[in-house]
Amino acid sequence: MTTIENPNKKDWSTILKRPTQTVDDIESTVNQVFNDVKLYGDEAIEKYTLKFDNVVLESLLVSKTEIEKASIKVSEDLKQAIQTAKLNIDKFHRAQKTDRVEVETIKGVICWQEKRPIEKIGLYIPGGTAPLFSTVLMLAIPAQIAGCKEIVLCSPPNKEGKIANEILYTAQLCGVTKIIKVGGIQVIAGLTFGTATIPQVYKIFGPGNQFVTVAKQLATKYGVAIDMPAGPSELLVIADDSANAAYVASDLLSQAEHGTDSQVILVSTSKSLIANVSKEIDNQLNELPRKEIAQKSIANSKLIFVESDKIALELINEYAPEHFIICSKNEELYIKGIVNAGSVFIGNYTPESAGDYASGTNHTLPTNGFCKAYSGVNLDSFTKSITFQKISKEGLQNIGNAIELMAEAEGLQAHKNAVSMRLKDIKQK
């Protein structure tokens, strides 16, 4: 990891740049796949699955038999762990339910808001080097709580044309209605336009590589909503001398092993801690099965020394990390001061891994600085808020004149007439 001391503020944007390709490098490929899927449907899906995943599929759909066989192969210990995580995630997301909000804004005018589930949703579950069955929990559980009618899960197949047993087991456990063994740009296009096999959905959820992220963004041009721009994983840790260097290193490596385009950053007010963390990274890295992936990610990463917590906080809010760990004796300053982060982990005994799996919070979070404007996935992500109003005769008399004046001032006579006609009838009766 590159060590940087007291970077000048004008250089922050360069130092904090993510190791991602530009959209221009990716967009032409995504557009081509979208156009083909729109024209040729499943035929194009199969073509690109062969091209990108090097596999020929007999069927794009996962059968009930496949799910049953996969579930048998998942160990009882892991099933219990998944059940524990499911319970905590369900508990946290169920607590986010809100009641109908109703208010009489003026005598005779009642307004209220109710939430309704999004009927058709698509869940993208990354496969590749690490099939993320934990993401199934994070997306399918709140979808089920929200009451979504159609929950379509898509995940890239392995070389044998299969989805990981753990993903299939977790999907059926969480109420997924259909499973498609297709990934990448092509399945995002399939969910956008619909094919003979892949249902068209109203909103697409789930993280993925840079190609998937751009594909999701392109889907919005065709009227399909997305949860957020969520690309390669990232983590920033703020730590001082009160932190445990070995713990900090383990957290940094936990995100570095996600993929070669992941990024991890340590910001610290202690030079000695930075030195100790650097040594720990070297020691722990050698023991990792995914050492090669983590090494490439570490090459994209930084160890940054700053003089004060105030500077550190400003730099962190500028970076807007997906995951943010606080290991500082001044933790309250960071808790109160952080405004741009996806999910925050506080103290030496709160590893980021807890949020990835089983604490209860959702791990589907915005990356690439989008935390400045986007929230992570939550129960509301799967619902729409609909407003209602009911006005009595007295109510219309109370607000009618204000509506007439405003409509007339905007030159919208029909708007005024819609009120005036009613008021005239009320007066005559």
Report the 3 state secondary structure along 58-71.
CCCECCHHHHHHHH
Average pLDDT score over residue span 160-171: 95
Task: Among 12-21, 112-121, 384-393, name the one with the lowest average pLDDT.
Answer: 12-21
186 is in an annotated binding site: yes
Considering the candidates 46, 93, 323, 363, report the single residue annotated as catalytic.
323
Residue 259: band (very low, low, confident or very high) from pLDDT cuts 50, 70, 90: confident
> How many Å apart are CA 285 and CA 149, to the nearest integer?
44
Q: At what angle do helices 271-285 and 245-256 cross, to 10 degrees?
A: 50
> How many Å apart are CA 416 and CA 412, to the nearest integer?
7
Average pLDDT score over residue span 246-252: 97
Backbone angles phi, psi at 245, to 5 degrees: -60, -40
Q: Active-site residue 68, yes or no?
A: no
233 is in an annotated binding site: yes
Considering the candidates 46, 166, 257, 322, report the single residue annotated as catalytic.
322
User: What's the CA angle centered on 301, arms 298 and 307, to 5 degrees?
Assistant: 135
> How many Å apart are CA 203 and CA 106, to the nearest integer?
36
Answer yes or no: are the C-beta atoms of 84 and 222 closer than 8 Å: no
263 is in an annotated binding site: no
Instruction: Give me the sign of the Cα torsion angle 82, 88, 93, 99.
Output: positive
- Please say if the pLDDT value at position 21 is more than 70: no
Quick one: pLDDT at residue 299? 87
> How many Å apart are CA 162 and CA 159, to the nearest integer?
7
> How many Å apart are CA 313 and CA 315, to the nearest integer?
5
For each of the domains in the chain, give its residue range(s) and CATH number, in order of start: 2-19+232-360 (3.40.50.1980), 23-228 (3.40.50.1980), 392-428 (1.20.5.1300)
363 is in an annotated binding site: no
420 is in an annotated binding site: no
> How many Å apart are CA 304 and CA 209, to the nearest integer?
26
Token output for 125: 């579950």
Least Cα distance to 141 among 182, 187, 85, 73 occurs for 85
| 130-149 burial code (b ≥16 CB/10 A, e <16) | ebbbbbbbbbbbbbbbbebe
415 is in an annotated binding site: yes
222 is in an annotated binding site: no
Residue 4: band (very low, low, confident or very high) from pLDDT cuts 50, 70, 90: very high
- Please say if the pLDDT value at position 231 is more than 90: no
- 404 membership: H or E segment, kind and range: helix 393-409
Residue 20: band (very low, low, confident or very high) from pLDDT cuts 50, 70, 90: low
> How many Å apart are CA 205 and CA 380, to the nearest integer?
13
417 is in an annotated binding site: no
- Please say if the pLDDT value at position 129 is more than 70: no
- Please say if the pLDDT value at position 378 is more than 90: yes
| 17-49 burial code (b ≥16 CB/10 A, e <16) | ebebeeeeebeeebeebbebbbeebbebbbebb
Average pLDDT score over residue span 413-429: 95
Q: Active-site residue 323, yes or no?
A: yes
- Please say if the pLDDT value at position 355 is more than 60: yes
410 is in an annotated binding site: yes
Quick one: pLDDT at residue 209? 82
pLDDT averaged over the chain?
95
257 is in an annotated binding site: no
Instruction: Give me the sign of the Cα torsion angle 370, 375, 380, 384.
Output: negative
